[in-house]
Structure 1
Amino acid sequence: MFTKIHWFLLLLFYFTSIGFAQEHFAVFFDTNKSTLTPAENKKLNNWISTHSKVKIVAMNGYTDQDGTAERNDTLALKRVDFIYSLIKDKIAIRSDFKSISFGEKHLQLQEKSKNRRVDIYYILEKDLVRENEILGITEEIVVTKPKPELRYPDIFQVQNPNGTVSEFTLDVDFMQKLTKANAGEKLPIKNLNFQFNTFAITNDSRGKLYELLLVMKQNPQLKIEIQGHICCNASNKETLSTQRAKAIKMFLIGQGIENERVTFKGFGSTQPIFPLPEKNEQERAANRRVEILIVQN
C-alpha cells in the first residue's frame, strides 16, 4: 500500500498558484467501494493508454458524507492506493509524489456521485522541461568545493626501539586518492603482504601502514572500514582475513587514531577478483588483498 503523506499546504500551493500548467483527470467510485466499476476501469485504461508520457504529481481521494468521518478517510485512502496500483508501472510518477485522502472533508458537490472520486494531477510531456517551475520548486544549487591537495612526504622515517631508524618510501599517489575518495568508494592497498598463514605484516610492507596512518591524521573527518580477503582456499578462512583487517586497525589505534573512525571486516575467500582456484601467483596475489572502504570523508 502506498504511504499517505498529509502535506496539505504544499499541495494547496501547487493547485492554486500554478494550476494553469497542471492537468487533471478523475475517476469515480460506487458507494462504499474502493475498486472501480467496469465502465470507470475502462475509462482509466483509455486515459493511461493515451497519456503514457505524462508525469503524475499528485492524487487526491474523496468520499461523500455517508458514514463516519474516520471510515471515510480510510475509504478515500484505499481509493488512492487502488488507483496508484493500477498506474505505478505504466506512467511516470514524481519521486516525491503526494497522496492525500480528504475523505468527506472537502467542499461537497451537489451531485453526490461526483464526491466519490480520485483526482489525478499530472504534467503533459511538452511541459516536463518546466516541471519544477510549474510546481513552484526552486532548485537548490549545491557547490561542491574540491578537496585540497594535501602534501605528503615521499619518504617517512620511523625510529625503532633499538635506536635505529627505518626509512619507508611512500606511495603518495595512493594517499592522494584516499584523501579525495568519496563515501562508498573502495581502494585496495597494493603491496601489503602478510607472513604465510598469519596476520603478521611483513617488514617490507610496513610503509603501507604509515601511508594509511598519515592520511587518517591529515583528514580527521575520514572514517574507514578495513576489509580483508584471502586467496586459494574455497573453504573460506574468514577468521584469518578478519584477523588481518583487525591487525591494521590495531596499528592505527596504537598510533592515536580514534577507535570509532576505524572498523574492520573479514570476507575470507567469498569475494575473489579471480575465480578459485586461481591459475597463477598473479591471480592469487590479487585475491589476497586488503581494501579500504570509505565510510565518511
Structure 2
Amino acid sequence: MKLVVFFFSLCFSFLQAQESKTLYFDFAKEVPNAISLKNFDEWIVSNQNIEILQIAGYCDSVDTNLSNKKLASKRIQSVLTLLKSKNSRISNSLIQEVFGEDFKQSKIQAENRKVTFLYKIVDEPIIETELLIEEKPKEESLVEKIEKERISLIDKFENAKIGDRIVINNIHFQFNSENIIPESEPLLEQLLFIMELNPDLEIKIFGHICCNPDPKDTKLSYRRALKIFNYLRDNGIQLRRLAYKGFGSNEPVYPIPEKNEEEKIANRRVEIEIVKK
C-alpha cells in the first residue's frame, strides 16, 4: 500500500513540475497575434530557464480538417522559432501534436486558434572549471551553422537601422543555379516569419556571387535574388515591401580570385537592406 501511495505521489509531483502556456492566432494566420506576442515577451522575461516538452497546434472549424492541420503545423513551427529566438531549450524528445479542428472546440472561435506548449523549469548546470579538459573545437556541420544563423536573424533585424545591410551567409544555391538547397530552407522560412512579425518592414534583397572575374555578368545573382523575392511574394508579403538586385561579383568581401573556400563562401552571399521599419 505504501508503495502504491509513493508511486502516485511521484507521478503527481512530476505533473506539478510541468506548466503550460498558450498563444493565440488571428484567423488563417501562421504567427501569433499582437496581443499574444506582447504577452509572450512579458512572460519570457521571468521564464528564462525553461525546457519545452510538448507542443500542440489547433485551428477553428473553418475550412477542411486537412487544411487546418497544415495550418496548425505551421503555427507550431512559428512558436518554436519564437521560443528558440529567446534561447528557450527544446527537449530532444519533444512531442508535437497537430489537431487541426479535430478536438473539443470552444464556441468562441478565437479560443480555438492557438498553440499550447508544456514546459518545465530547469536549473542552470554548475560547471566546475577546475575539471574542464580543453578539447579541440568540433567543426560545425552545415545544418548546425544554418540553425545558429536562423536563430540569430530576429535579433539582427531588431537591432538594424534603416540603410543597414544584414548578411545571410548560409542561403546556399545549387551549382550555377538559382535553386536553393533544402538545408537552407529554414533561413527562408525565418526571413518570411520576420516579415510577418514586422508588417511595416520593407527590404531590398541583394544577390552576390563568387569566383567570377567578369563584373558585367550579373545574371545569376539577379536570378538568385529574384528567387528569394518570389518566395516572400508567393507567401503573402506585399510587393510594395520588396525589391531585389543582383550585383554579380562587383562587391566582393575578398578580392577575386579568392584564396580559399572560406573567402568564396563570404563572397557568395545574400544581403538584406533595411528600407523601412
- Name the TM-score, length of structure 1 as normaliser: 0.44
Q: Who wins on radius of gyration, i.e. which is larger?
A: 1
